Amino acid sequence: MQNLSEFRSGADYDAQYDHLYDPEIAYLTQMALGQKGAILDVCCGTGIVTIPLAEKTGFEVHGVDVAEDMLAAAQAKSQHLHNIHFHLADALDFHLAQRFALSIMTGNAFQAFLTEDNALHLLQHIHQHLSDAGLLIFDTRLLEGFDLTVDTDFKLKSEYIDAAGHDVRYFWKKTRFDDINHILYFDKKRQYPDGKEVFSGIELKFFPQEELYSLFERTGFAVLHQFANWQMSPFDLAGPGAVFVLQKE
C-alpha cells in the first residue's frame, strides 16, 4: 500500500487543500444530477468533494477511505447530512450491498495503486459496485507529460495556515523515479514559524497511456470522455494530467 504519512491529519489536509476543489465539485455535481442515482466516492479523504455532492444533489452518497483521521474529519463535517455514509476500508476490499450510478475518485487518488494488479483489482471492484451503464470519473497525472525530473533539494510549493493557525511552508523533493515500475517518490517537508520541520513521503504510480486504456478495456469500461482537467479542457496526450469519464459496459 502507498505510504499514508501525508494523510495523518484530516484537519491539516483540509487547511491545505480544501479551497482548491471548486472545478471538481462543479463538474461532478453536473454529472451526478445527470446520472440520477447513488454516488460512491472511492478514496474520499476528508469528504472535500463527497460532502458538497451530497448537499447539492440530495442523492445517497457513500465514501470509502483507509486513513482513519481523514475519514473522522469527513464524518465530523457531515453530521448535518442524512444522505451520506462513510466506510473505513481499503478501496481494494470493501463490500457494499448498494449499486451506484456514479463512482468518483479525486485528488489523483488512482495513483495510490502502485501495481498493475492493484489498479486492475480496483477498477474491477468499482465496476462491480456500479449499476448498469454507471459512470466512473477520476483524475490522474500522466506519465507522458508530468515533469519526472528528480530534484537536488527541497522546493517550496505553497504556504498555508494549518488547522492550529500556524503559518506553514510546504516543500517537496522528487527523490527518485523508478522507470521500470513508473513510480515517482517524493519527500515532503513542512516548516513551522518556530523552526520545527515535519517530514513525510509519498509515492505515485504513473501508467503509460496504452496501459491505462488496456486496464479500462480489461475491466469492462468504455471511455465516454477524456479531458485535460476538471474544467473540461481538451485532452492532451502530452499534458501533465487527465480526467477520464468511463462507462460500465
Ligand X SMILES: C[S@@+](CC[C@H](N)C(=O)[O-])C[C@H]1O[C@@H](n2cnc3c(N)ncnc32)[C@H](O)[C@@H]1O
Beta-bridged to residue 65, according to DSSP, are 88
Binder among 9, 16, 35, 106 for ligand X (CB under 6 A)? 106
Query: Which residues, 6+ apart, have CB-to-CB distance to 59 below 8 Å?
Result: 32, 36, 37, 38, 39, 53, 83, 101
Q: Does 48 bind ligand X (CB under 6 A)?
A: yes
Q: Does 2 bind ligand X (CB under 6 A)?
A: yes
CA 117 to chain centre: 18
Q: Does 215 bind ligand X (CB under 6 A)?
A: no
Q: What is the side-by-side strand order in the sheet with 167-178?
A: 155-161, 167-178, 183-191, 197-205
Using the minimum distance from each CB to ligand X, give the nearer residue, 7 or 59.
Answer: 7
- Rounded to a whole number of angstroms, the minimum distance from the CB of residue 236 to ligand X is 22
Binder among 15, 28, 112, 136 for ligand X (CB under 6 A)? 112
Q: Does 66 bind ligand X (CB under 6 A)?
A: yes
Using the minimum distance from each CB to ligand X, give the nearer residue, 56 or 133.
Answer: 56
Query: Which residues, 6+ apart, have CB-to-CB distance to 111 below 8 Å?
Result: 140, 141, 204, 205, 206
Q: For binding to ligand X (CB under 6 A), which residues are involved?
A: 1-2, 4, 7, 43-45, 48-49, 64-67, 70, 90-92, 106-107, 109, 112
